[in-house]
Amino acid sequence: MLIGKLIRPTTTSGNVVLIVLLLTGLIAVYQWFVLPHTSNLMAAQKYNAVTDDLEKKNEILIKTVVRKRENLKELKNKLNKIENMIFESNEAQEFFSDIQVIAEETNCAILSLNFSPINNAKKNDISKTSDQINANHAKLNITGSYRNIMELINRLQDRLKRVMMDFINISTINNSSGKLNCQLTITVFVKKGKEIRSDD
């Protein structure tokens, strides 16, 4: 009798068993259904955060590339302008040989015309095959009226290529003739060597 009473389940112990079974079922459902979806949801959120970050970085990179392309285009335009101002070797020879003709056409008399040694205008020559720009100088001593001398200077500079007047000194010869003496130092930049450029 006593053993029967001990073995017979009470209402309280039945409730405990039921609660344990219910908790076990809930834990199983959570682990099998809820937890995987939660992990997937967290992974999806991380993936979205990463893709958003990558999209922002991609936008920044695209803007940077566009800006650098614009800067490169601007630099190429500046380089083209500079190159258009530099003489080719044959153009420089033609320019210096025309000085006598221009002087005669402007009624100026050349007293002396001396060519200085060529100076290398490119100090940091990285490659022997790259462009080399030389500065060619000429010292010119002429006589003429002020108007004729100014016309000669304007004629020398009236061209697309750049002609620099490094030194100009005008002085009177004598008061009666109205003639002036002018000493000029002229510099032109001459491109020599192979040109290596990329237009990409």
- Looking at the whole model, is its pTM more than 0.85? no
Q: For the packed helices 146-157 and 89-105, what is the interaxial angle rounded to 10 degrees?
A: 160
Alpha helical stretches, state H, 30-88: 35-85
Burial (0-12, 13-18, 19+ Cβ within 10 Å), 163: middle
What SS3 state is found at 133?
strand
Are 138 and 96 in contact, with CB atoms under 8 Å apart?
Answer: yes
State the pLDDT at residue 148: 92
Would you write out the chain's pLDDT as a tens digit for each of its 200 residues?
A: 444 554 555 567 667 777 777 777 777 766 676 666 677 777 777 877 888 888 888 888 888 999 999 999 999 888 888 887 888 888 888 888 888 899 999 999 999 888 876 655 544 443 343 457 888 888 999 999 999 999 999 998 888 888 888 899 988 887 677 789 999 998 888 887 544 343 44
Are 117 and 156 in contact, with CB atoms under 8 Å apart?
Answer: no
Strand (E) positions, the chain?
A: 87-88, 109-115, 119-120, 132-144, 163-172, 180-192
State the pLDDT at residue 151: 93
State the pLDDT at residue 150: 92
